[in-house]
Amino acid sequence: MAIVTGGGKGIGRVIAKLFATEGARVVVVSLHDETGGKTVEQIRSAGGDAIFVKADVSIRSDMERMIEKTKDTYGTVHLLSHNAGIYPLSLLKDMTEEEWDKVLDVNLKGVFLAVKACLPSMIRQNYGKIVLTSSITGPRTAFPGNVHYGSAKAGITGFIHNAAIELAKNHITVNAVEPAWTLTEGLREQITEKEMQLIAKSIPIGELADPLDTAYATLFLSTDESRFITGQTLVIDGGLTLVETKSLE
């Protein structure tokens, strides 16, 4: 039984649908009725089992309601795939305190609140899989306009290291995936086709990631085949972080 936050679009939607295809019952969590409902619709039309919970990951009461609805419907939670996040670009010199707080609330505090809500069930059953969608931006790379976003994603690395140690005795693993540039609806709204082509040229594999690339990595970290992996991050970047400088060819 899996909870997928940020399941209304992008990587989260693809993860939710993949989990359902693999036989999981899925709770799709999104701030938006239309997109979250669409994901559930797609899962059900393909023969899967899913429900929708409208919730804001940065609000404690919403995360508590999320887990209560999950337990009412499915009894417990075995897996949390946390994808909810925002990435508005803002240069440091122009960034307001409100912009900083919003991004940190959603992208980092949201991790804490979502995980915290799931822990009682996972500890009670002495089993759980937590997979957080982070990013190479912050932990490994930087990009102008991402001081708040990069800080939050770097914070996730510290979170999983420490949470993994605390929860290991309860057979709960805590890991993260770190995708690079991925062809999601959100990315298409922010950059042009020409910019996408330029980005693709900087990636050794020669193309941007598909959301399925991250979904399959998340699936692996959610299975018992990964039972001995915890406190780790899996980079999905087509070799981008290996590049020392732009190719001279």
Q: Which of 46, 45, 34 is nearest to 8 (CA)?
A: 34
List the catalytic residue out of 74, 87, 127, 149.
Answer: 149
How far apart are alpha carbons 78 and 19 in whole angstroms? 12
The verdict on whether 216 is a catalytic residue reads no
How many CB atoms are closer than 10 A to CB 9? 20
Output b/e per residue, 22-60; b: 16+ Cβ within 10 A: eebbbbbbbbeeebbebbbebbeeeebebbbbbbbbbee
How far apart are alpha carbons 163 and 152 in whole angstroms? 16
Whole-number Cα distances in Å, 120 to 57, 138, 165: 17, 30, 17
**Residue 136 identity:** I
DSSP H/E element including 231: none
Rounded to 5°, the CA angle 229-233-235 comes to: 125
Rounded to 5°, the CA angle 147-111-149 comes to: 10
Residues carrying an active site annotation: 149
